[in-house]
A and B are shown apart, each in its own frame.
Chain A
């Protein structure tokens, strides 16, 4: 038996066919024909039984090599055909990727909330805690304790919202500022104090630049040796951090509030060009907040000895600084719940301001 001849016959007969097998099905039937249990190679191997051990070994080597070659040819053709088939399948699956994605609701956070979170973050970094008080206040907390006399114009009906007079003659009111929370804090807890108080405040005013409800954040620091230098340092640091301008010019001007003495108003530098105000170094000034050293009368009214304790307080309009920082022109839009406005000026839920990653994007 000429093993080589037999082997060559099968190789010549099939290797070309395998390489050119048109489909996986035909390749598989070729495989069965040559390498199947009853296939051509098996038939050859069956013949080995009749050979002498020496011949068997030599012929076995030849046949096994043939088997290996055929296997490789089939595998090679298989992977080609398989890839072609997949490619054909995929090409039939193509879609128009320019079509639109499934809509997802884009929620937003209101600028008032965002700015409040920014302010909280800044003062938290200076060791302040957030305190609060109710929107409905007593005349005592809102005015009397804050050294605002009974005949002060701010107490009039045209400035303050009142609830109906009660049987004992007292009236509750909607707080006109967040300062009554100072009174609550100082009267209820022991100094030292270092708090901010954000919240809704109300005044009887409704025009282009005033709304009957607005937002303030109050600050209060009381300790034994807090003086006006600390007030300045704290507010300079705050304003520069908030507006994210390291060299933001600040100006402290003497002013008057019944509940602070000395009192100051704080302006930040800005420039106005073409009706657009830009915060930063410039020719103009813009008032952003009022502040001062807590009036000794207020300390006494809250049960603190002004000879022992002193400190400062400030009040910032949240809506106002939000407008300044984020270029929002019209205050009234804040309370209109207009979807276009909310989407334009709102913030992503994930934009939680932190000092570590920066207050804003």
Chain B
């Protein structure tokens, strides 16, 4: 909402300066978004009279003009096609700062002639983009007068943001009311007196709504004005409109616009001579169309309110008028319509037809029903004053909405809810200044809201009114103190999520945040694509589905970073994936990928690429950090199809609960992402991890340390090539602590897996070292032999493997 300071002062007498006014506006909830004050920028520019022009001796396109600015004559070289003798234009003397070009005008020779100033275009003045010619001014203006003052650009323009509840401040009157209530200035808004009608309107108006739809337009007043003379508006009116960025069109249109912005009362003026028969207000019929004032033709539907004559729609109610009955320079008989259109319906219609208009903007925020009549009177008065003519008596259709319900208000609530002590008398004073009617007094009064404040809904709103007028800055802040012992703010899962990122970052991975969306194709490739998780209205198809996995977006990131030449990529994200639309279908997952060289070329080390065991290590690191004993998990190879079938695994708890999936990403998938290298990836489902066992105390297990020497023994087994090494290791581990010496296997370390030369086909050699830690006594050779024998026996029993001799 824009208005100029001068316009505001027509409604409120204020002593304060611009800064005080704008600060106050912001602090009472009418946030000032900007102030444009052209007075300074246009200081040097004056009205110039082009007395005569002649051709430039050395250039066909240029003219030499003699410009009278009252105090003297100046010669100007001008190339504008519209320059001619007799017009009035904007003159810039030498030394003027040209705002549009950000330079100071210097005497400059143009083809042998030195100009003594410049005639300016809109663009040169920084007022717009028009550079097709110079600005032509009203010929009535006096040469030498300040240009800004003459056209009203010396009036600072204030733009405020209006929250959706404050439609009443979409008129200058409403803004002034709020300002005055806050103690800044005194209301001087001119009163509107009814204009007596001289005759009865020859045009009838009727509502034509099916039962149940009457609320589309409950109330309308109309007036026929005959014998009016249209033409340009007077300067004061043009200035008002121009200051807020509206182009003056004609007196008839300008007056309706003025009332719209002055009183928040949109109106429409129809050229009666173009209206066929009477006027009807009804819902549109399917298939009806209207050619609107913006030169667009709209197809209407049955839920849109229209104003019609016998031939069809002549306006889309509360939004825009039609061309067929619009006012032109020749219009002499007008029908002035002022109505109450349903906010919701107007909003829906405007949205569907994608029409933004000042009328729609106001109607959809709710209009003061009282303004139907007063706005009509004000416009009638202005029209007759400016264009002559005679008004009919007022036609009234429908009924104005009845009296509002009262709100019980306890002034004590301002302190209890708002934290600011304000006396009952002061509360009442503020409310009354805002237009509320208060009855009773003391601890409780009954409040009737003003007709323009539809947003006021209860006691809390009244508290807000008082607080905002007093200013939120006057509420004393009170710190919130913890009312108990310090407690963790995070739940177990939240803590795991928080720690998981730190664990992975500590392992050298970079955390990303990617969209929760993937494309349909990606969703399908990663086990999703369910129609129920497809957005009805995605931004683009690429962002069309809720992701079933974190991997697609991470692979996209790999691809993009690889293209930029980054090797050694390790990325992770912790976030949701969606297996369905219910709360429990949303899992929080740590997704991770590693690609290319995990250690690049280096003089001390061999370069190598990230492999399955790097990503497996990441998964294990996470699970072990959360205190999850890997002995409780099983490792299987039944991985989803987007993994390499022979180089991937799942860590499960029981038969169903998957804790993590890891492995090389299927090369077929990678090629879809344009990735040529092998990439390993994993997803650890943080929400699937079981909670740790409840603990009675924070005490650690008692340390059982011993000085007894640890014995290292190496074994090499020949086992079938198909035997998982994990089974063999597990067989060994299962003997830990089982010997009569209760020795613990403090390490079972796989150090070689070999097949090939020297090993028969179909077999492999698996070598491991076992660290045997005695519990009570140093192990004797006999003990060690017994333990070794049991290891060999167990491995043979479980895997069929034989010790290599």
Q: Which residues of A contact B (CB under 8 A)?
A: 99-100, 102-110, 112-113, 117, 120, 123-130, 132-136, 151, 153, 156-158, 161-165, 171-172, 174, 194, 196, 200, 202, 204, 206, 212-213, 221, 225, 227-234, 236-237, 251-256, 261-265, 293, 295-297, 310, 334-340, 342-343, 346, 348-350, 352
- Contact check: which of B419, B515, B546 meets A212 at CB < 8 Å? B515
CA distance A104 to B568 in the complex (A): 10
Task: Tell me the nearest residue of chain B to A310, going by C-beta.
Answer: B417
Collect the chain B residues with CB atoms within 8 Å of residue A202's CB.
516
- Asked whether A163 lies within 8 Å of B535 as measured between CB atoms, the reply is yes
Q: Does B699 contact A (CB under 8 A)?
A: no
- Asked whether A128 lies within 8 Å of B489 as measured between CB atoms, the reply is yes
Collect the chain B residues with CB atoms within 8 Å of residue A256's CB.
29, 163-166, 455
CA distance A298 to B144 in the complex (A): 63
Task: Kindly list the 8 A-B residue pairs having the minimum CB-CB distance in the complex, ordered from nearest.
Answer: A105-B508, A229-B419, A254-B29, A262-B464, A337-B557, A256-B163, A107-B505, A127-B482
Collect the chain B residues with CB atoms within 8 Å of residue A157's CB.
536-537
Known: A110-B511, A253-B29, A254-B464. 9 other contacts (CB 8 A): A136-B546, A156-B351, A163-B535, A212-B517, A213-B516, A232-B472, A262-B464, A297-B458, A342-B511
Q: How far is the CB of B677 from chain A (nearest CB, A)?
A: 15
Tell me whether chain A's interface is mostly helix, strand or loop, or mixed.
Answer: mixed
Q: How far is the CB of A307 from chain B (nearest CB, A)?
A: 10
Instruction: List 17 interface pairs A-B (beta carbons < 8 Å), by A numbering.
Output: A105-B570, A107-B504, A107-B505, A113-B511, A127-B480, A130-B489, A132-B494, A153-B351, A164-B536, A174-B535, A204-B537, A228-B475, A230-B478, A256-B164, A264-B472, A342-B510, A348-B505
- Asked whether B508 lies within 8 Å of A106 as measured between CB atoms, the reply is yes
- Contact check: which of A103, A112, A204 meets B539 at CB < 8 Å? A204
Task: Tell me the nearest residue of chain B to A131, going by C-beta.
Answer: B491
- Asked whether A104 lies within 8 Å of B508 as measured between CB atoms, the reply is yes
Question: Could you give, for residues 568-579 of chain B, a 1 whenever the CB lies within 8 Å of some chain A CB and a 0 otherwise?
Answer: 111100111010
Collect the chain A residues with CB atoms within 8 Å of residue B501's CB.
109-110, 113, 349
CA distance A180 to B583 in the complex (A): 13
Give the contacts of B526-564 with A (CB-CB under 8 A): 531-539, 543, 546, 553-554, 556-557, 560-561, 564
- Contact check: which of B28, B416, B546 meets A227 at CB < 8 Å? B416
Collect the chain A residues with CB atoms within 8 Å of residue B575's CB.
200
Q: Does B484 contact A (CB under 8 A)?
A: yes
Q: Interface residues of B toward A: which range?
A: 35 or more
Q: Does B513 contact A (CB under 8 A)?
A: yes
Q: Does B697 contact A (CB under 8 A)?
A: no
- Contact check: which of B484, B490, B536 meets A162 at CB < 8 Å? B536
Q: Does B802 contact A (CB under 8 A)?
A: no
CA distance A133 to B576 in the complex (A): 12
Q: Do A135 and B516 form a contact, CB below 8 Å, given A229-B475, A229-B477?
A: yes
Q: Does B356 contact A (CB under 8 A)?
A: no
- Contact check: which of A102, A129, A252 meets B487 at CB < 8 Å? A129
CA distance A161 to B536 in the complex (A): 7
Collect the chain B residues with CB atoms within 8 Å of residue A262's CB.
417-418, 460-461, 463-464, 467-468
- Asked whether A337 lies within 8 Å of B571 as measured between CB atoms, the reply is yes
- Asked whether A130 lies within 8 Å of B494 as measured between CB atoms, the reply is yes
- Asked whether B512 lies within 8 Å of A342 as measured between CB atoms, the reply is yes
- Asked whether A200 lies within 8 Å of B516 as measured between CB atoms, the reply is yes
Collect the chain A residues with CB atoms within 8 Å of residue B348's CB.
151
- Asked whether A253 lies within 8 Å of B512 as measured between CB atoms, the reply is no
CA distance A204 to B517 in the complex (A): 13
Collect the chain A residues with CB atoms within 8 Å of residue B538's CB.
161
- Contact check: which of A172, A194, A206, A252 meets B473 at CB < 8 Å? A252
Collect the chain B residues with CB atoms within 8 Å of residue A213's CB.
515-517
- Asked whether A127 lies within 8 Å of B481 as measured between CB atoms, the reply is yes
Collect the chain A residues with CB atoms within 8 Å of residue B164's CB.
153, 256
Collect the chain B residues with CB atoms within 8 Å of residue A228's CB.
417-420, 467, 472, 475
Q: How far is the CB of A148 from chain B (nearest CB, A)?
A: 11
- Asked whether A120 lies within 8 Å of B515 as measured between CB atoms, the reply is no
- Asked whether B477 lies within 8 Å of A105 as measured between CB atoms, the reply is no
Interface-central residue, A165, A225, A231, A254, by most chain B CB under 10 Å = A254
Collect the chain B residues with CB atoms within 8 Å of residue A352's CB.
502
CA distance A278 to B515 in the complex (A): 30
Collect the chain A residues with CB atoms within 8 Å of residue B418's CB.
227-228, 262, 293
- Asked whether B477 lies within 8 Å of A293 as measured between CB atoms, the reply is no
Q: How far is the CB of B166 from chain A (nearest CB, A)?
A: 7
Give the contacts of B492-513 with A (CB-CB under 8 A): 494, 498, 501-513
Q: Does B311 contact A (CB under 8 A)?
A: no
Collect the chain B residues with CB atoms within 8 Å of residue A158's CB.
537
Q: Do A229 and B476 form a contact, CB below 8 Å, given A151-B347, A254-B29?
A: yes
- Asked whether A343 lies within 8 Å of B510 as measured between CB atoms, the reply is yes
Collect the chain B residues with CB atoms within 8 Å of residue A339's CB.
510, 561, 564, 566, 569
CA distance A237 to B480 in the complex (A): 9
Q: Do A110 and B502 form a contact, CB below 8 Å, given A120-B490, A172-B581, A262-B464?
A: no
CA distance A244 to B504 in the complex (A): 28
Q: How far is the CB of B471 from chain A (nearest CB, A)?
A: 9
- Asked whether A105 lies within 8 Å of B461 as measured between CB atoms, the reply is no
Give the contacts of B283-311 with A (CB-CB under 8 A): none
Collect the chain A residues with CB atoms within 8 Å of residue B479's CB.
233-234, 237
Q: How far is the CB of B233 from chain A (nearest CB, A)?
A: 34
- Contact check: which of B27, B458, B476 meets A253 at CB < 8 Å? B27
CA distance A136 to B344 in the complex (A): 27
CA distance A104 to B553 in the complex (A): 25
- Asked whether A337 lies within 8 Å of B477 as measured between CB atoms, the reply is no
CA distance A113 to B516 in the complex (A): 16
Q: Does B762 contact A (CB under 8 A)?
A: no
Collect the chain B residues with CB atoms within 8 Å of residue A255's CB.
29, 31, 163
CA distance A348 to B501 in the complex (A): 11
Collect the chain B residues with CB atoms within 8 Å of residue A123's CB.
489
- Asked whether B511 lies within 8 Å of A120 as measured between CB atoms, the reply is no
- Contact check: which of A133, A161, A253, A338 meets B472 at CB < 8 Å? A253
- Asked whether B512 lies within 8 Å of A349 as measured between CB atoms, the reply is no
Collect the chain B residues with CB atoms within 8 Å of residue A295's CB.
460
Segment among B380-388, B602-610, B741-749 that sits at the interface with chain A: B602-610
Q: Does B132 contact A (CB under 8 A)?
A: no
- Asked whether A236 lies within 8 Å of B477 as measured between CB atoms, the reply is yes
Collect the chain B residues with CB atoms within 8 Å of residue A236's CB.
477
- Asked whether B561 lies within 8 Å of A261 as measured between CB atoms, the reply is no
Q: Does B488 contact A (CB under 8 A)?
A: yes
Q: How far is the CB of A256 from chain B (nearest CB, A)?
A: 4
- Asked whether A337 lies within 8 Å of B561 as measured between CB atoms, the reply is yes
CA distance A350 to B463 in the complex (A): 47
Q: How far is the CB of A181 from chain B (nearest CB, A)?
A: 12
Q: Do A102 and B419 form a contact, CB below 8 Å, given A130-B490, A255-B163, A339-B510?
A: no
